[in-house]
Amino acid sequence: MTSQSDLNRPAARDLLDDIGAKPRRWQAVRRALKHRSLSVGVTICVVLISLIAAAPLLTSIDPNAQDAMATFLPPGWQHPMGTDAFGRDIFSRVLYGGRTTMLASLSVVVIGSLIGTTIGLVAGYFGGALGFVIMRLVDLLLAFPGILLALAITAILGPGLSNGVIAISAILIPVYARLVEGATTEIRNLPYIDASITLGAGASRIILTHILPNVMSGVIIMTTTWLGIAALWITALGFIGLGVQPPTPEWGAILNDGQIYITLAWWITVFPGVFLSLFVIGVNLIGDGLRDELDPTLARA
């Protein structure tokens, strides 16, 4: 006869597993924070995001407000980063422009990762003619240089931030699809996947339960890496006039405004360039740290 204690053993074991999982998660977090690249990158990004989020508290000047009597003022107490050719405050424009650049970059990697990961999962799991056709289209997109493809799409859709996000997302989709398809194909041939199919598990359940969690580490690492690259490309489109349109502040547009005055007013290009560089460096350091923590093929010291 089964006793009451025997019936309670599975529940007690699950409870103990849940209790033990919390310290393990905290240990993983503490170990990750001790990683030099990861901690430095997180610090840089937190500081930048805090400054940009607190822009209304740090400055009361409208980023688009013009003052004909305050053109080309050097950095000072009233204007910490100086003013441009229209008397606009660079400090205000850099902070508010950072919102545009960062949100656009985040939108790019979110759209690219969602669509690319979905395509890679479908092609890798089902394979056959469907997978062959999908991956040949992916190879066709990968054959084009990324920035040229973005320029072509932007030229077709027209200038603007939304079209720029779509154009750069189109570059990331095949990159994610290639990564996820390779990992999915490898996992698809493992014995436990065949066992799940034998037990009657459907394709959607297998993909979401068994395959997707195993490819997420690579997707996360690539997302942090491409977040910085997306910021550079968003800035590049703004610099050449195909991204954000005036007078909306954005780091690339500010760099474009100050390029012809570089010898007269260096601060117009230096300060947005410094913020952009720090953001790219920060997310790349985070990507390096996450790769070391999440990639099981790398040996730990």
Q: What is the pLDDT of residues 212-268, one digit of tens each?
A: 888 988 898 899 889 999 999 999 988 988 888 888 899 999 999 898 999 999 999
The answer to whether residues 76 and 122 touch, using CB atoms and an 8 Å cutoff, is no
- Reading the block at residue 264, the tokens are 């007269």
Domains and their CATH numbers in the chain: 21-294 (1.10.3720.10)
- Reading the block at residue 167, the tokens are 């154009």
The C-alpha atoms of residue 176 and residue 171 are separated, in whole angstroms, by 9
Question: How many degrees, rounded to 5, is the angle at CA 238 between CA 236 and CA 240?
Answer: 70
DSSP state of 83: B
Residue (of 92, 85, 93) closest to 260 by Cα position:
85
pLDDT band for position 55 (cuts 50, 70, 90): very high
Q: What is the mean pLDDT of residues 195-212?
A: 85
Q: Is the pLDDT score of 28 beyond 80?
A: no
User: Average per-residue pLDDT in the chain?
Assistant: 85
pLDDT band for position 21 (cuts 50, 70, 90): very low
pLDDT of amino acid 296:
56
Q: What is the mean pLDDT of residues 105-115?
A: 95
For 148-186, the pLDDT digits (tens) are 888 888 888 888 889 989 999 998 999 999 999 999 998
pLDDT band for position 118 (cuts 50, 70, 90): very high
Which carries the bigger pLDDT value, residue 82 or residue 188? 82
The C-alpha atoms of residue 29 and residue 15 are separated, in whole angstroms, by 22
Q: What is the mean pLDDT of residues 119-130?
A: 91
Q: Is the pLDDT score of 54 beyond 90?
A: yes
- Residue 20: other Cβ atoms inside 10 A: 10
Q: What is the mean pLDDT of residues 16-21?
A: 48
pLDDT band for position 111 (cuts 50, 70, 90): very high
Sequence-ordered list of residues with C-beta below 8 angstroms from that of 124, at least 6 positions apart, any chain: 131, 180, 181, 182, 183, 184, 185, 187, 188, 211
Q: Is the pLDDT score of 8 beyond 90?
A: no
The C-alpha atoms of residue 108 and residue 232 are separated, in whole angstroms, by 12
- Buried b or exposed e, range 137-172, using 16+ CB within 10 angstroms: ebeebbeeebeebbbebbeeeebebebbbbbbbbbb
Q: 0.85 cut: is pTM over it? A: no
User: Cα torsion at 276, 34, 296, 225 (round to 10°)?
Assistant: 0
Q: What is the mean pLDDT of residues 110-116?
A: 95
